[in-house]
Amino acid sequence: MDITSILIALFTLTAGIGVFLVACQMMSSNLESVSSKRLKRLFSRTGDNKWLGVGIGALGTAAIQSSGAVTVMVIGFVNVGIMSLTQAATIIYGANIGTTITAQLVALGMFGTSSLSTTIIFATFAGIGAFIMLFAKKDTTKQIGGVLTGFGMLFVGLSMMSSAMEGFASLDSVKQVLARISDPLLLVLVGAILTAIIQSSSVMTSIAITMVVTGLISLDQGIFLTMGSNIGSCVVAIIAGWTSGTNAKRTAFIHLTFNTLGVVLFMIISLLLHLLSRGEMSFGTLFGELFPRAPQLQLAMFHTIFNVCTMFVAMPLTNQLVRLSCAAIKEEPKTENIHEPHLYFLDEQMLRTPVVAVRQLKAEIENMGKLAISNYRRSIDIVTTLDYKEIDLFRETENELDYLNKELVRYVVLLSGKSLNNFDHQYLTSTIRSVSDLERIGDYAENIVEYADSLRSQDAKFSEYAVNEILQMRDLIDALFKEVMTAYHSLDMSALGRANQIEDEVDRLTDEMERNHIQRLSLDICSPQVGTEYISLAQNSERVADHLINVGKTIRDLV
């Protein structure tokens, strides 16, 4: 094999890895989009049941073919406080099992004869998927085509890597150099470093399978490289966690500790096998006997069994892992500043999993609605009682509404550039208007507090009749808010119908308040100096109702 052949083999290997990485990304993003609704429902079921967490992690990773994406998603959930560390730990266990599906697919693709192997058969899906993407009209059909194209390209990349490995395997010098790298710790370290560089344990395991099948390395070497890839895969979680809050860092720590625990455990078992059998037995010989004449299956099955066994060992130690993470990463000292505005359900890391980010965006908007309506209630309390005990909380919430308005618009712009299905894209187009409507409710609440300031400066107040009408308006707005949020959350058109009826009542009450006020003025029950504030308050409340209805109306196109 001359220098030209070596260069060709190197270029082919690089190209094969590149195609494989692109295929993994293509499959992952399109699977995310196709399965978005199921994925949202899946992660909404996380509870205190540890086994349920493992199942959700495994299914979620199998669905989108990316344990890194699932782990980053979990870190995002923990960071915004909607998932506990215990829940996160069990989902990470499951994600490690789900990621072994790729290795099993690769092993399956390496069966068959050289003339017609499963690799060639599966690679044809790249062409089929490309034609579907080219001619399909619907987004969902195009995404299915993208999944098929990515699936086929996996095996195109695999074929290129195999071809390059066979070239290297024919070189005795290369085989001799690789044979010298037999120290298990060194192989684990190499596997971890390479995985950290390419940021995909699936790709590293697939490369190891290809090297074992072509005879470039032994099964034992492939096994230790695969074990190292489990540690290297933590780099994605570490990057995501260390740029987030304390609990996000703890989640990344749990991920690293869990994966390292599995490697240490199997290294000890490997050493015991070697000592007890006097060097005659290893994982390689054991799996070679279990799955004879199928080196690709031997390594793929080790990968699966390794992760399943690690999960069973870690499950009873979950609480101890959580406590260890809390002890290792202390709570960051809290500043004495006033509460700073922040996002409750979103962070930047969630942009890596757009379908879940859309679900969390909806939760963020619903929470913004609660903040807006709470400030409207406070403004009514202040103007009817002239009691300013909650004025600091009112101003704090108003600042938060202004912050959410800007941040959510920015987040929607970033999210709209991601790969999403048609439904989610349609939802995103409505969110900027909804966010603006909710922020305007806060502005009207500010106006009402200013009316209270005016009354206080004049040493005046509303009459008992006026206060009763204002409280009646507040109750109608409360009822309207509940129906709108029900409609918005569940896409419930019947709730929207009820909301429209309440909004009509708000309009009637506004007209009635104006007429009654004029009548009270004529009877000298109310003073003229409060008239402007009272009429403006009624009109502002009506506009609050209008903005709430606008939020509810966005579900029409979605339904």
Q: Tens digit of pLDDT for each residue in 52-72? A: 889 888 887 877 767 777 887
For the chain, the distance separating the N- and C-terminal CA atoms, rounded to the nearest angstrom, is 64
Beta-bridge mates of residue 117: 112
Angle, vertex CA 305, rays to CA 303 and CA 309, nearest 5: 120
Beta-bridge mates of residue 558: none
Q: Among candidates 181, 398, 208, which has minimal Cα distance to 306? A: 208
Residue 341 in domain: no
Q: Among candidates 222, 247, 258, 250, which has minimal Cα distance to 97? A: 258
Residue 500: its pLDDT value, please?
96
Residue 382 in domain: yes
Report whether pLDDT(241) > 80: no
Residue 45: its pLDDT value, please?
64
Percent of all residues in the chain with a pLDDT value above 90, rounded to a whole number: 45
Query: Same domain for 69 and 126?
Result: yes
- Distances, alpha carbon 272 to alpha carbons 183, 265, 275, 289, 429, in Å: 15, 11, 5, 18, 60
Query: Same domain for 59 and 141?
Result: yes
Distant-in-sequence, close-in-space partners of 445: CB < 8 Å, separation ≥ 6: 372, 375, 376, 378, 379, 394, 398, 544
Q: Report which of residues 164 and 285 the model is more confident about.
A: 285
Query: Same domain for 62 and 149?
Result: yes
Query: Same domain for 246 and 395?
Result: no
Structural domain range at position 213: 3-328
Residue 305 in domain: yes
Residue 412: its pLDDT value, please?
94
Query: Same domain for 372 and 246?
Result: no
**The one-letter amino acid at 174:** V
Contact 254, 323 (CB under 8 A): no
**The one-letter amino acid at 523:** L
Residue 330: its pLDDT value, please?
86
Query: Same domain for 359 and 283?
Result: no
Query: Same domain for 26 and 132?
Result: yes
- Cα–Cα distance between 465 and 426 in angstroms, integer? 46
**The one-letter amino acid at 281:** M
If pLDDT is split at 50, 70 and 90, which confidence band does 36 have? low
Total count of residues recorded for the chain: 559
Query: Same domain for 304 and 377?
Result: no
Q: How far is CA 276 from the centre of its chain?
A: 46
Residue 510 in domain: yes
Residue 415 in domain: yes
Q: How many separate domains does the chain show?
A: 2
| Domain end call among 328, 358, 381 | 328
Q: What is the tens place of the pLDDT at every residue in 375-412?
A: 999 999 999 999 999 999 999 999 999 999 999 999 99
Query: Same domain for 317 and 396?
Result: no
Query: Same domain for 268 and 362?
Result: no
Q: What is the tens place of the pLDDT at every residue in 147-173?
A: 889 888 888 887 888 788 777 767 677
If pLDDT is split at 50, 70 and 90, which confidence band does 335 have? very low
Report whether pLDDT(228) > 90: yes
Query: Same domain for 261 and 404?
Result: no
Report whether pLDDT(93) > 80: yes
CATH, residue 383: 1.20.58.220
| pTM value > 0.85 | no
| Domain end call among 296, 328, 360 | 328
Residue 370 in domain: yes
pLDDT, mean over the chain: 86
Query: Same domain for 322 and 352?
Result: no
Residue 340 in domain: no
Q: Among candidates 126, 121, 154, which has minimal Cα distance to 18? A: 154
Residue 430 in domain: yes
- Give the position of tokens 């009820």: 498
- Cα–Cα distance between 219 and 295 in angstroms, integer? 7
- Cα–Cα distance between 378 and 394 in angstroms, integer? 7
Angle, vertex CA 224, rays to CA 104 and CA 20, nearest 5: 45
Rounded to 5 degrees, φ, ψ at 112 are: 110, 175
- Cα–Cα distance between 369 and 548 in angstroms, integer? 9
Report whether pLDDT(540) > 60: yes
- Cα–Cα distance between 455 and 303 in angstroms, integer? 73
